Amino acid sequence: MQIGDLIRRAGAQFGSAPALIHEDRVVSFAEFDELTDRLGNALLAAGLTAGDRVAVLMPNGIDGVVAYYAIAKAGLVRVPLNVRETASEHAYKIDDSQARALIHAGDPPASVEVMITADELPGLIAGALPGPCDIRREQDAPFRLAYTGGTTGKPKAVVLTTRSELAEVANFLVDLLPNLRPDSVMLHAAPITHGSGAFFLPHLVKGAPNVILPKFTSAAFLEAARKYRATTTFMVPTMIALLLEDPDTATADLTLERLCYGGAPIATSVLQRGLDLLGPVFAQLYGQAEAPLAITCLQPWEHTPERLTSAGKPYTFVEVQIRDTDGNVLGPGGVGEVLTRGPHTMSRYWRRPEATAETVEPDGWLHTGDIGRWDDDGYLHLLDRRHDVIISGGFNVYPREVEDALLTHPSVIEAAVVGLPDDKWGERVAAAVVTRSETCPEEILEFCADRLAGFKRPRAIEIWPAIPTSPVGKSLRREVRDRMAAARQ
Ligand code: AMP
């Protein structure tokens, strides 16, 4: 089966029902099938051939989605670029992926053989051959390239295949969104280039519309959620924190069945507040670019007080292990690296055989780089990224635990904990926090004294106006560390 088959079948089954909604524009299932056929035909007519990479730099909207699935039908490889990144980051990815075409809104960050502007798309589609565009590819041939966040170096492209795409859809339908139906409504509040995009096909195949917000603000989200009676949405934890800060959230009459969140650790205090305000609608996903959004999930009914620090259980058709540094598989309580295996994982890193060999075992097990442990009931608890673990005086300090403690302070709204070089201890713990009211670092330090063992307590706390975040809203600890280290030199 090909991804294009899903679109064709939805077009035939759900015809004139709305498939995509963005501001005043509505595209039906049948139209979406036709638009993607036509643009796919136009891309082939422009000289592109199966396997060519096509970079797409478009804001959240219908044209970007049409471009994605035209590329799918034409046997081409999508390289989504996030509009919030800089031109030099875009240029790097276009070059690294060896893109032959670029579909873009705004100034092009680089020049490639086939350039298509957003303004040209309607004309191109109108002038293209009608009729099915159906270039079929092997299940394990590249379908799209997803760039990693690059939190540890230059972003690497993850090669995802038709097999991994179909597995992701299936995993969602089996575990996360088993109740989708034509009157479900997906509200895309986060960039479709990233996590939210994974929700597009599961809704499409079940005849449910995908509503796209151009840009997330809590007000825009609440308005659209009410207007369209949204049942599903996806947010990264920082978006949830913003939503909960909005006084209107408490009284918003929402129809959400699943507020899915993931992509980064969530503070327990934020999650608890969300549950209090919005009820048992939260569903957590743990995944990564290399294993898109489907390693474990924590279901709404599993959000009990003792489980709020857990990332849930493996998806039904996904294998997960925790191993120590010698490769031994660990049982409950043992702390080690999380590995996963299944059709959902990447096939490899694009043009980086050494990185692939370090990450994927010959038998398919993928090293996630995350440190975790199982509890006695089979729930996974993630401690932190392997690279972010602070080693102070020989003890491991997981920044997330310290951040969680800081976030229980009533005036702390954001926290980033890092390790700074220390002559005596190797590394010492330091924190940057954003506060909502007048408070001083000494007061927060004192607050930590009751909550954290001595070696975990920050030696320094700085109050910052904001914590630097990546374009998808993850806090960038590396930048925090660099800034703090530079200021100390
Ligand atoms: P990316 O590849 O940029 O999507 O980043 C994936 C990483 O984000 C994972 O390896 C985890 O470290 C982190 N992450 C994703 N989902 C969760 C989650 N639910 N809880 C904690 N960390 C998460």
pLDDT tens digits, 333-389: 999 999 999 999 999 999 999 999 999 999 999 999 999 999 999 999 999 888 899
Q: Note the maximum CA span of the chain.
A: 71
User: Residue 188 in 3-state DSSP?
Assistant: strand
Place of tokens 């998806």: 315
* Best residue for ligand 1 mutational test, from 234, 238, 288 (most atoms within 8 Å of Cβ): 288
State the burial class of residue 151 (Cβ atoms within 10 Å of its Cβ: 0-12, 13-18, 19+): middle
Architecture of domain 3-374: 3-Layer(aba) Sandwich (3.40)
Q: How far apart are CA 257 and CA 243, in angstroms?
A: 16
Cα→Cα distances 34→130, 252, 396, Å: 7, 37, 55
> What is the Cα–Cα distance from 444 to 463, expressed in whole angstroms?
10
Q: What is the pLDDT of residue 190?
A: 87
CA of 139 to the centre of ligand 1 (A): 26
Q: How far is the CA of 182 from the centre of ligand 1 (A)?
A: 30
The C-alpha torsion from 263 through 412 and 258 to 234, rounded to 10°, is -40
Report the DSSP beta bridge partners of residue 354.
Answer: none
Q: For residues 314 and 368, what is the distance between their CA atoms, to the nearest angstrom?
A: 14
**Helix, strand, or coil here: 392?**
strand
pTM, 2 dp:
0.91
Quick check: helix, strand or coil at residue 349?
Answer: strand
Q: What is the dihedral of CA 262, 263, 267, 268, to 10 degrees?
A: 30
The four Cα atoms 135, 139, 64, 213 give a dihedral, to 10 degrees, of 140
In contact, 427 and 460? CB cutoff 8 Å:
no
On the 0-12 / 13-18 / 19+ scale of CB atoms within 10 A, 394 is: exposed
Q: Are 464 and 447 in contact (CB under 8 A)?
A: no
Atom in ligand 1 nearest the alpha carbon of residue 296: 19
- Residue 6 pLDDT > 80, yes or no? yes
- DSSP 8-state code for residue 312: B
- Partners of 286 in the beta sheet? 296
Residue position matching structure tokens 């035209």:
70
* Residue 277 neighbours by CB distance under 10 Å: 14
For the chain, domain boundaries: 3-374, 390-488
CATH architecture of the domain 390-488 equals 2-Layer Sandwich (3.30)
Query: What b-and-e string marks burial along 14-51, b requiring 16 or more CB atoms within 10 Å of the CB?
Result: beebbbbbbeeeebbbbbbbbbbbbbbbbbbebebeee
Going by the DSSP 8-state scheme, the letter that residue 175 receives in this structure is I
Average pLDDT over residues 209-232: 96
143 lines ligand 1 (CB under 6 A): no
Ligand 1 atom 23, closest CA = 264
Atom of ligand 1 nearest to the CA of 293: 16
Instruction: Tell me if domain 3-374 and domain 390-488 are identical in fold.
Output: no
| 59 pocket-lining for ligand 1 (C-beta < 6 Å) | no
Average pLDDT, the chain: 94
Distance in angstroms (rounded) separating the CA atoms of residues 363 and 277: 45
CA distances from 395 to 18, 369, 454, 455 (A): 56, 19, 11, 7
d(CA 52, CA 122): 22
Point out the ligand 1 atom lying closest to the alpha carbon of residue 289: 2
CB 440 within 8 A of CB 447: no
Evaluate if residue 469 carries a pLDDT over 90.
no
CA 194 to ligand 1: nearest atom: 4
* Contact yes or no for 344/169 (Cβ under 8 A): no
Beta-carbon contacts of 447 under 8 Å, excluding residues fewer than 6 positions away, are 409
pLDDT one-digit tens code per residue, 261-292: 998 888 888 999 999 999 999 999 999 999 99
> From the CB of 289, is ligand 1 less than 6 Å away?
yes
% the chain with pLDDT above 70: 99
Ligand 1 contact via 148 beta carbon (within 6 Å)? yes
Q: Is the pLDDT of residue 473 over 80?
A: no
pLDDT at 152: 62
In angstroms, the CA 326 to CA 208 distance is 47
pLDDT in tens, 90-114: 999 999 999 999 999 999 999 999 9
| pLDDT exceeds cutoff 80 at 472 | no
Alpha-carbon distance of 4 to 69, in angstroms, equals: 7
Pick the more confident residue, 339 or 214.
339
Q: For the residues of 24-55, what is the DSSP string, one character each? A: TEEEEHHHHHHHHHHHHHHHHHTT--TT-EEE
- Phi, psi of 267, deg, nearest 5: -75, 135
Residue-wise pLDDT for 253-262, tens only, equals: 999 999 999 9
Cα–Cα distance, 265 to 348 (Å, whole number): 25
Per-residue pLDDT, 267: 86
Give CA–CA dist 101/42, Å, rounded: 12
Residue nearest atom 9 in ligand 1 by C-alpha distance: 288
Helix, strand, or coil (residue 297): strand
- The alpha-helical segments, DSSP class H, found in 300-424 are 353-359, 399-407
pLDDT band for position 424 (50/70/90)? Answer: confident
Q: Residue 473: CB within 6 Å of ligand 1?
A: no
Q: Which residues of 110-147 are buried (b: 16+ CB within 10 A; e: fewer)?
A: bebeeebebeebeebbeebeeeebebebeeebbbbbbb
- Residue 150's pLDDT band (cuts 50, 70, 90): low
Residues comprising the chain, all counted: 489
Q: Is 310 in the pocket of ligand 1 (CB under 6 A)?
A: no
